[in-house]
Structure 1
Amino acid sequence: MFVKNGTAELKHVLTSPPDYLKKADPINEISKKYQFEPLNQAKLANEYQALIAAYKKADIQVEQLLPQPVMTNSVFARDFGACVKEGYILGRFKEPLRFAERAAYEAKMKALGIPKIIEVKTGYFEGGDFAFLDEKTIAIGLLQRTDQVGFAEVKAGLSKYGYQVYPVPADPRYLHLDMCFNLITDHLAVAYPQGLPTSFLTLLKKLKIEIIPVPEAAIFKHGCNLESLGKNRVISLKQNQAVNQALIEHGVEVIELDITETLKAGGGPHCMTFPLNRS
């Protein structure tokens, strides 16, 4: 078994250092704001190492994909696909800037011995749009980078294994589902509810998932881009003070990281992490 859901104990992750992330390419609403200023390489490296250190402190095994010069955005390891109990889904990038990552991550997963059970070949699908709601229920965002064709390919592949897969359309400005919704524990999520469809909110209620609400502005400051470690623990950003306090009040241990430079390229801790094992 590889990844049984989104909130079980995280034991093994795949990441990639930001070695060639020199500037914020204008491929999302956040990065557009910073496209004309170079990114601070030392800060990027330190922020990545802080994430790795947090994982190691939590006894989580860390794998690294060493990037190539053409893989400027590979630090956002989440996006190449998704992992379930049976193996992994190889997605398909929409932005040409990220095309080179696909083969590199596919080769890495083969080297790690994790079987590819689905490959998106026609549509688009990125891992930032993939969210477990429970062990057999999965939500897939339809925002900027995943389309209906890609969704249908993933849903058809997963249905063979008994998963129920639901589409979650939302404003393309939010980029990925993990920017406006993230499950933290089995029955607790952080989200911007006004930006999510009524059908999805109804499903969350049916599954007894409580929402800690954030304002729309928080999406663009990575207020929802958190990484659950399981056992009521989560990695969050130091700047997410209101969200972090609400999580603490719900009995969650919050591990705060002072990440600011990486965010300028459009991704946070959740984007930087591809789970390989949750059990």
Structure 2
Amino acid sequence: MFVLNGTSELKRVLVCPPTYLEEAAPINEISKKYADQPLNRKKLTAEFEQLVEAYQQAGIEVEQQTATPEMTNAVFARDFGGCVKEGYILGRFKKELRFPERRAYENKMKKLGVPKILEIKEGYFEGGDFAFLTEKVIAVGIIDRTDQKGFEELKAGLAHFGYEVYPVPADPRYLHLDMCFNLVDDHLAVAYKEGLPAAFLKLLEKLEIEIIPVPEEAIFKHGCNLESLGAKRVLSLKQNTEVNKALRAHGMKVIELDITETLKAGGGPHCMTFPLQRG
């Protein structure tokens, strides 16, 4: 078994150091703000090491992708695809900047012994849009990097394995679903409710998933970009003071990361993590 769902115990992850993330390429709303500012190499490295250390201290095995000059944004390992119990889905990037990552991550997954059960070939699909709601129910954002065709390919492919896949259209400025919605425990999520479609909110209600609400500006400060470790533990950012307070009030153990530089490129802890084994 590889990844059972989105909130059971996380056991193994794949990450990539930000070795060549030298400036915030303006490919999303956040990175546009820092497009003319070179990123602090020393700080980027320290933040990545902090993430790795947090996983290791939590007893989670960390695998690393080798960084190469042509893969500037590979630090956001989540985006090359998705992983379920049976194996992984190879996505398809929309931005040319990220094209070299696809085969590199495919080769890495082969080396790690994770079978490819599905490949998106016609549309676009990125892993930041992939979210388990239960073991057999998956939400997929159709926001900026995943399109309708990619969603349909994913839905049809996963139907063979018994998964129900639901679309979540939202404002393209939000980039990925994990920027405006994230499940942190079996029946608890953090989200900007007003930016999510009514049909999706009804589905969450049906599945008895409670939402900790955040304002729209929290999206662009990575207030929703959290990583569940299972057993009521979650990685969050130190700057998410209100979100972290609310999570603790719901019985969650919040592990705070003091990450600020990597965020300028447009991604947080969830974006930086591809789950390999959970359950």
Instruction: Please report the TM-score for the alignment, with normalisation by the length of structure 2.
Output: 1.00
Partner of 1:140: 140
Distance in 2, matches of 1:182 and 1:261, equals 22
Distance in 1, matches of 2:145 and 2:67, equals 22
Partner of 2:173: 173
Partner of 2:71: 71
Corresponding residue SS for 2:133? strand
Partner of 1:205: 205
Partner of 1:4: 4
CA shift for structure 1 position 67: 1.2
Distance in 1, matches of 2:68 and 2:102, equals 12
Report the residue type matching 1:255 in the other structure: I
1:88-125 per-position Cα deviation (integer Å, ceiling 9, x unaligned): 00000000000000000000000001000000001000
CA shift for structure 1 position 170: 0.2
Q: In the comparison of the two structures, how many residue pairs are matched?
A: 279
Partner of 2:47: 47
Partner of 1:120: 120
Q: Does 1:109 align with 2:109?
A: yes
What 5-or-longer segments of structure 1 have no aligned partner? none
1:158-183 per-position Cα deviation (integer Å, ceiling 9, x unaligned): 00000000000000000000000000
Report the residue type matching 1:72 in the other structure: T
Q: Map of 1:150-161 to 2, 5 A cutoff?
A: 150-161=150-161
Report the residue type matching 1:115 in the other structure: P
Distance in 2, matches of 1:199 and 1:143, equals 15
Partner of 2:263: 263
Q: Map of 1:7-18 to 2, 5 A cutoff?
A: 7-18=7-18
CA shift for structure 1 position 239: 0.1
Report the residue type matching 1:252 in the other structure: M
Partner of 1:272: 272
Corresponding residue SS for 2:276? strand
Corresponding residue SS for 2:166? strand
Distance in 2, matches of 1:17 and 1:133, equals 29
Identity %: 72
Q: Does 1:88 align with 2:88?
A: yes
Report the residue type matching 1:34 in the other structure: Y
CA shift for structure 1 position 42: 0.4
Corresponding residue SS for 1:66? coil
Distance in 1, matches of 2:52 and 2:18, equals 12
Distance in 1, matches of 2:165 and 2:135, equals 11
Corresponding residue SS for 1:134? coil
Corresponding residue SS for 1:5? coil
Report the residue type matching 2:50 in the other structure: A
Distance in 1, matches of 2:21 and 2:218, equals 24
Q: Which runs of 4+ in 1 moved over 4 A?
A: none
Report the residue type matching 1:247 in the other structure: L
Partner of 2:22: 22
1:4-62 per-position Cα deviation (integer Å, ceiling 9, x unaligned): 00000000000000000000000000000000010000000000000000000000000
Corresponding residue SS for 1:183? strand
Indicate the RMSD between aligned Cα atoms, in angstroms. Answer: 0.3
What 5-or-longer segments of structure 2 have no aligned partner? none
Instruction: Please report the TM-score for the alignment, with normalisation by the length of structure 1.
Output: 1.00
Distance in 2, matches of 1:114 and 1:21, equals 27
Report the residue type matching 1:219 in the other structure: I
Report the residue type matching 1:239 in the other structure: Q
